[in-house]
């Protein structure tokens, strides 16, 4: 009576970044009883983006805490919880609402290992939905990565794909160093064929990945700008350019090896990010690339970034955000021979 149907793992299906992140939190809570989630509206509601959906119901309100509305309080108490031996995963509701917690992050979270001569690591993950392009009112669209990347002692990670959402969040929670985990909110609902069936890949923190090979020039980007760069690379074919695209994934630590190799392969580079250009992460990247690849470069490293202005109101955000055309415009300025 047995049929010959082979037993096989469930086929990969369309999964959103949001549900992959949810899955990473769920698996972490399940595997490690010291993992605790703290944040505003993360319990019954499951977070305003539903990233913690169902976790309070499954693991209890004392594993997934609806906190008072106070970000400094959330992160400050997470510090104490970590000192006690817990592994807090903090959710900040939006990028700009993490600023009240900035003092805790910079003065305490980032320094505790150093101050205590390694005796007191703080394995805290601070999840922050960031970036624009969702038509959000004021303070809902900031790209705050440069503040964090500038702070010694913090890891700063940002996934751009569904698989990385899972793999990097698992790694962030498992890390014994504090990790600022920046979630590109406009990619929350982007889908990929991905299944968390074993083996679930946990991505090591600190490795960039080449998303597209190319020969003409290299786009270096991360987070919400990755899909824009991939689209630009497609569009560039019409101009005769074959663009490579590097997804940094981790801003700190920075993967010099992968980035430099990708730039040397083409001799031209453009850095793309949403946040303002001045003293931004792109400036650091351009400097590092110039230092390492000077003799391979046919043109200065260019940047396509948000302007150096407060984030504009929704109806104007498309002018501020780097789009395909501005990226191609920059590629066109890479001193091509006639």
Partner 1 sequence: MTVDSTAGAPTTAPAANDGPADAGPPELVQLLTPEGERVEHPDYSLETTPEELRSIYRDLVLVRRFDAEATSLQRQGELGLWASLLGQEAAQVGSGRAMRPTDYAFPTYREHGVAWCKGVDPLNLLGMFRGVNHGGWDPDEKNFHLYTIVIGSQTLHATGYAMGITKDGADDAVIAYFGDGASSQGDVSEAFTFASVYQAPVVFFCQNNQWAISEPTEKQTRVPLYQRASGFGFPGVRVDGNDVLACLAVTRWALDHARTGQGPVLIEAFTYRMGAHTTSDDPTRYRIAEELESWKLKDPIERLKAHLVREGWADSAFLESVEAESEQLARRVREGVRTMPDPDPSSIFEHVYAEGHALVDEEREGYLAYASSFASAAAELTDGEDD
Ligand X SMILES: Cc1ncc(C[n+]2csc(CCOP(=O)(O)OP(=O)(O)O)c2C)c(N)n1
Catalytic residues: 140
Question: Which of 155, 186 has the CB closer to ligand X?
Answer: 186
**CA atoms lying within 13 Å on the CB side of residue 303:** 21
Tell me the residue nearest to ligand X as measured from the CB: 97
DSSP-derived secondary structure for 59-70: H-TTTEEE--S-
Could you identify the residue written with the tokens 């299906």?
A: 13
- Report the number of secondary-structure helices (H) and strands (E) in the chain: 12, 14
Closest CA to 203 of 249, 246, 148, 244: 249
Nearer to partner 1, 115 or 319 (CB): 319
Whose tokens are 């977070």? That residue is: 47
CA distance 129 to 39: 13
What token pair was written down for 325?
Answer: 């055309």
Report in angstroms how near the CB of residue 71 gets to ligand X at its nearest: 6
The CA–CA distances, whole Å, from 97 to 19, 55, 168 equal 23, 22, 23
**Residues whose CB is less than 8 angstroms from the CB of residue 80 and which lie 6 or more positions away in sequence, other chains included:** none
CB of 314 to ligand X, least distance (A): 16
Which CB atom, from 105 or from 285, has the smaller least distance to ligand X? 105
Query: Please, what is the minimum distance in Å from the beta carbon of residue 101 to ligand X?
Result: 9
| Rounded CA separation 277/312 (Å) | 15
Q: Which is nearer to partner 1, 69 or 298 (CB)?
A: 69
Kindly list the distances between the CA atom of residue 18 and the CA atoms of 14, 98, 112, 171, 223, in Å, as whole numbers in the listed order.
12, 20, 31, 17, 14
Q: Which helix (H) or strand (E) holds 78?
A: helix 71-84
Out of partner 1, ligand X, none, what residue 319 binds, judged by CB under 5 to 8 A for its kind, is partner 1
Q: How far is the CB of 70 from ligand X (least distance, A)?
A: 8
Interatomic CA distance for residues 179 and 269, integer angstroms: 28
Q: What is the DSSP secondary structure assignment for residue 204, as one 8-state letter?
A: P
Quick one: 34 or 195, whose CB is closer to partner 1?
34
Nearest to 206 by CA among 168, 244, 180, 238: 168
- Using CB distances below 5 to 8 A depending on partner kind, what does residue 56 bind out of ligand X, partner 1, none? partner 1
Q: SS3 sequence, 275-324?
A: EECCCCHHHHHHHHHHHHHHHHCCCCCEEEEECCCCCCCHHHHHHHCCCH
Residues at the interface with partner 1 (CB under 8 A): 33-34, 36, 40-41, 43-46, 48, 56, 60-63, 65-70, 72-73, 81, 84-86, 96-97, 99-100, 135, 137-140, 278, 307-310, 312-316, 319-320, 325-326, 329
By beta-carbon proximity to ligand X, the closer residue of 70 and 83 is 70
Q: How far is the CB of 195 from partner 1 (least distance, A)?
A: 27
Task: Give the one entry of partner 1, ligand X, none that residue 326 binds, where binding means its C-beta sits below a cut-off of 5 to 8 angstroms depending on kind.
Answer: partner 1
Residue 90 C-beta: closest distance to ligand X, Å: 13
Give contact residues for ligand X (rule: CB under 6 A). 40, 69, 71, 93, 97, 100
């Amino acid at each position: 009576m047995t049929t010959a149907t082979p037993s096989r793992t469930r086929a990969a299906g369309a999964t959103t970044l949001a549900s992959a992140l949810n899955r990473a939190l769920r698996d972490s809570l399940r595997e490690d009883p010291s993992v605790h989630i703290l944040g505003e509206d993360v319990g019954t509601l499951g977070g305003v983006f539903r990233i913690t959906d169902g976790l309070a119901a499954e693991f209890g309100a004392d594993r997934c805490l609806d906190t008072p509305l106070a970000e400094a309080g959330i992160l400050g108490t997470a510090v104490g919880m970590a000192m006690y031996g817990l592994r807090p995963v903090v959710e900040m509701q939006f990028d700009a609402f993490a600023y009240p917690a900035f003092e805790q992050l910079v003065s305490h979270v980032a320094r505790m290992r150093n101050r205590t001569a390694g005796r007191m690591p703080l394995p805290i993950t601070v999840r922050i939905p960031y970036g624009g392009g969702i038509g959000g009112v004021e303070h809902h669209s900031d790209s705050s990565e440069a503040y964090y990347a500038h702070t010694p002692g913090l890891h700063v990670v940002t996934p751009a794909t569904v698989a990385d959402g899972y793999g990097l969040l698992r790694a962030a929670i498992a890390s014994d160093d504090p990790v600022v985990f920046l979630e590109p909110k406009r990619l929350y609902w982007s889908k990929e064929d991905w299944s968390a069936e074993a083996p679930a890949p946990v991505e090591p923190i600190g490795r960039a990945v080449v998303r597209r090979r190319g020969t003409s020039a290299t786009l270096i980007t991360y987070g919400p700008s990755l899909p824009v760069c991939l689209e630009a690379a497609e569009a560039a074919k019409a101009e005769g350019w074959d663009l490579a695209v590097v997804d940094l994934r981790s801003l700190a630590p920075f993967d010099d090896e992968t980035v430099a190799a990708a730039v040397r392969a083409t001799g031209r580079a453009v850095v793309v990010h949403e946040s303002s250009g001045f003293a931004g992460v792109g400036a650091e990247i351009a400097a590092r690339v110039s230092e390492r690849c000077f003799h391979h470069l046919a043109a200065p490293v260019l940047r396509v970034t948000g302007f150096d202005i407060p984030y504009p109101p929704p109806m104007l955000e498309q002018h501020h955000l780097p789009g395909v055309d501005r990226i191609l415009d920059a590629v066109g300025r890479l001193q091509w021979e006639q």
